[in-house]
Amino acid sequence: MNRSAIAVALLGLTACGAFSNYQSSVGPRYAGDLRSSPGAVPSATPAALRVVTYNLQYARHIDRAIHVLKSRTGLRGADIIALQEMDAPGTQRVAEALGMAYVYYPVGIHPKTGRDLGNAILSRWPIVEDEKLVLPHLGRMRHARRIATAATILIGDAAVRVYSVHLGTPTDIGPGKRRDQVRTVMADAARYPRVVVAGDLNSRGVGKEFSAVGFLWPTEHNPFTTAFFNWDHIFFKGFASPDSARTGVVRDTLRTSDHDPVWAVALLPTVPAR
What is residue 274's predicted lDDT score, i.e. its pLDDT?
46
* Residue 216 backbone zone (phi > 0: left; psi -120 to 50: alpha; other: beta): beta
Q: What is the pLDDT of residue 202?
A: 95
Check if CATH label 3.40.1280.10 holds for domain 45-267.
no
Residue 194 confidence (pLDDT): 97
122 CB contacts (<8 Å, ≥6 apart)? 80, 81, 82, 83, 91, 94, 95, 98, 100, 101, 102
Measured torsion, CA atoms of residues 113, 10, 179, 203, in degrees rounded to the nearest 10: 100
What is the distance between the alpha carbons of residues 194 and 201, in angstroms, rounded to a whole number? 20
First-last CA distance in the chain: 59
Q: Could you give the angle at the alpha carbon of 263 between the alpha carbons of 203 and 205, nearest 5°?
A: 20
Query: 218 preceded by cis ω (within 30°)?
Result: no
Of the candidates 85, 73, 147, 158, the one whose C-alpha atom is nearest the C-alpha of residue 115 is 85
Q: What are phi and psi of 6, to 5 degrees?
A: -65, -45
- A 10 A CB-CB count for 220 gives 17
| SS3 at position 257 | coil
Q: Per-residue pLDDT for the chain (274 aa), expressed as one digit of tens each?
A: 444 444 443 444 344 578 899 999 999 999 999 998 776 666 567 889 999 999 999 999 999 999 999 999 999 999 999 999 999 999 999 999 999 999 999 999 988 888 999 999 999 999 999 999 999 999 988 889 999 999 999 998 889 999 999 999 999 999 999 999 999 999 999 999 999 999 999 999 999 999 999 999 999 999 999 999 999 999 999 999 887 779 999 999 999 999 999 999 999 876 554 4
Say how far apart CA 163 and CA 184 lie, in whole Å: 12
The pLDDT of residue 56 is 97
Q: What are the residue boundaries of the structural domains of the chain, listed by start?
A: 45-267
Q: What is the pTM of this model?
A: 0.91
Half-sphere exposure in the Cβ direction for 180 (13 Å, CA): 12
**Separation in Å, CA 266 to CA 64, 116, 215, 229, 234:** 27, 32, 12, 24, 10
pLDDT of the residue at 125: 94
- The answer for residues whose C-beta is within 8 angstroms of residue 175's C-beta and 6 or more apart is 203, 205, 206
